[in-house]
Amino acid sequence: MAATLTDAQLEELKTFDSATIANAIEPFKVRDQTLGYVGSNVRTLFPNKTEPMVGYAVTAKGDSTTYARRRDPALQFGLWEAMDESPRPSVVVVQDAGNNPSKSGPCGDVMGTLIRALGGIGLVTDGGVRDLPEVEDLGLHYFARGPVVAHGTAVIYDAGEPVVIDGVPIQTGDLLHGDVNGLVVIPAEIAGEVADAAREVIADETRRKEFAASPEFTLEGYRKLLGL
């Protein structure tokens, strides 16, 4: 089940950092607290972005490290067609299916320009990417293992099929939220309620931080504040 929020709801989610969103999901108990977010193998390559990436996944697989494989640009049109049909804003999510993810490079500035033209706001991959300055100038987000200089024998295929990024299953239509803290999948069944929960997280954390920074702070007082 994909969640399609209003433009106003999406804009509201962008006012929270991804760590707060991750915390806000927990009280709903729709998944284990160890699931639904990528680890440090996949991170933003543009840490100075002022807003988080909030958009709907369009999934595919990629391989740019199979030796002597013939590149076939026609295969990539499956991705473009899937993007064209996706709710916007969209985020391209490419699982590396080659034999050396540290040398994979499914995306550069040409692909980035097409992503932008089709309503995309970013790309997520467990492989590498290139053309970082040009892609950042396009206003896109990059979440990846790191930069790589060459595209190798890059092909993109299986558009729309489920993928796994750093152990996290992602399907086309999943709502993603990512920033310098990392990337989290917002469960569809609670997507419309997460912003309110995020405000509650902020209020609770503010209360605790203010008490910890005050002259009245004691461990016993903090214990009482937490209701322990």
pLDDT string in tens for the chain (228-residue length): 566 899 999 999 999 999 999 999 999 999 999 999 999 999 999 999 999 999 999 999 998 888 767 777 778 899 999 999 999 999 999 999 988 888 888 789 999 999 999 999 999 999 999 999 999 999 999 999 999 998 888 889 999 999 999 999 999 999 999 999 999 999 999 999 999 999 999 999 999 999 999 999 999 999 999 999
Residue 94: the pLDDT is 97
Residues 133/159/120/140 CA torsion (nearest 10 deg): -20
pTM value is 0.94
Residue 185: the pLDDT is 99
Q: Which residue has the tokens 């590498």?
A: 128
Residue 21: the pLDDT is 99
Residue 106: the pLDDT is 78
Residue 44: the pLDDT is 98
What does the angle CA 142 – CA 184 – CA 7 come to, to the nearest 5 degrees?
A: 80
Residue 138: the pLDDT is 97
Structure tokens at 57: 């996944």
Residue 93 in contact with residue 163, Cβ under 8 Å?
Answer: yes
d(Cα 146, Cα 166) in Å, to the nearest integer?
A: 14
Residue 29: the pLDDT is 96
d(Cα 93, Cα 71) in Å, to the nearest integer?
A: 20
Structure tokens at 24: 């806000």
Residue 168 in contact with residue 186, Cβ under 8 Å?
Answer: no
What does the angle CA 3 – CA 91 – CA 73 come to, to the nearest 5 degrees?
A: 130
Q: Which residues contact 192 (CB under 8 A, 6 or more apart)?
A: 3, 5, 9
Residue 3: the pLDDT is 65
**Structural domains for the chain:** 7-208 (3.50.30.40)
